[in-house]
Amino acid sequence: MSRDADLTRRRFLGLAGITSLAAGLTCATGAAGYFLLSAVRRSHGAADPSPTPRPLSLKQIERPVITSRTDWGAREPNHEARNESGFYSLLNEEGWREYEGDLRATYTTVVVHHSVILETADDATMREIQDLHMDDRGWADIAYHFGVGTTGAVFEGRALDVRGTHVEGANTGSVGVVFFGNFEETVPTAEQLGAGEDLINWLALRLELTHLAGHMDFNDFTDCPGRNLSYYLEALAQSAGLELGTGGYVEPET
């Protein structure tokens, strides 16, 4: 990222006066994901491996349309979950952790996943993921902060001011974004890539993120987010002005 672009980004963030990002997840306007969409259309399904990132602009910091938990039918968190029981403390480090203060001081990295699960409707996929995470894996809520459907719909997952459970050893301070589908076997849709790009651009600017990584970059025991989505990670990172990889991840102080 150039010095001028970085200054522009920081000036905007300073003017925005972000004090509670989680409270801002209730209303805003959307922005079209032209960068990856055009790459997909040019190549009929394969992105240009060396795309030119579109410049950061005021349009790209508009909050995309996000379906609320209420609207997709989310369950309430279960604070008696067997693997995320109670609330975080020095004696219960695996408990439900709510971040305090400015979230820009907490987050550094967005981590991209694929769901493997895919229902006929995007909202049904989101509910199925939550059921799996709460009932089978014993977590208090869905692991991810956001979901990106095949139609381009974006869904609010776990509250952004709460630690996720989406990447072993690096949950604290990382944003979890899941794309619906099994991308070892299929490819993401153009609508999905465009919506994911807009979401990640917005998160990068609002949280002053520095890096983007795939789940497997942190945990080598998984193929997530699948080879057909991993192919696009460099383009997603470039579009948001982020570096690709785990190098920026620093766990916040206890």
Question: Do the domain assignments include residue 220?
Answer: yes
Question: Do the domain assignments include residue 62?
Answer: yes
Rounded Cα distance between 47 and 26, Å, is 33
Rounded Cα distance between 105 and 252, Å, is 8
Question: Do the domain assignments include residue 107?
Answer: yes
DSSP calls for 45-79: S---SSPPPPPP-GGGGSPPP-B-HHHHTPPPP-T
Rounded Cα distance between 220 and 89, Å, is 29
Beta strands in the chain (DSSP E): 109-114, 146-148, 154-156, 174-179, 211-214, 243-244
For strands 174-179 and 109-114, give the pairing: parallel
Q: What is the CATH number of the domain that holds 24?
A: 3.40.80.10
Question: Do the domain assignments include residue 253?
Answer: no
Question: Do the domain assignments include residue 172?
Answer: yes
The pLDDT value given to residue 44? 34
- The number of distinct structural domains making up the chain is 1
Q: What is the pTM of this model?
A: 0.79
Predicted confidence pLDDT, tens digits, the chain (254 residues)? 444 444 334 333 333 333 333 333 322 223 334 445 444 434 434 444 434 444 444 444 689 999 999 999 999 999 999 999 999 998 998 999 999 999 999 999 999 999 999 999 999 999 999 999 999 999 999 999 999 999 999 999 999 999 999 999 999 999 999 999 999 999 999 999 999 999 999 999 999 999 999 999 999 999 999 999 999 999 999 999 999 999 998 877 76
The parent domain of residue 90 ranges over: 3-244
The pLDDT value given to residue 105? 93
Question: Do the domain assignments include residue 252?
Answer: no
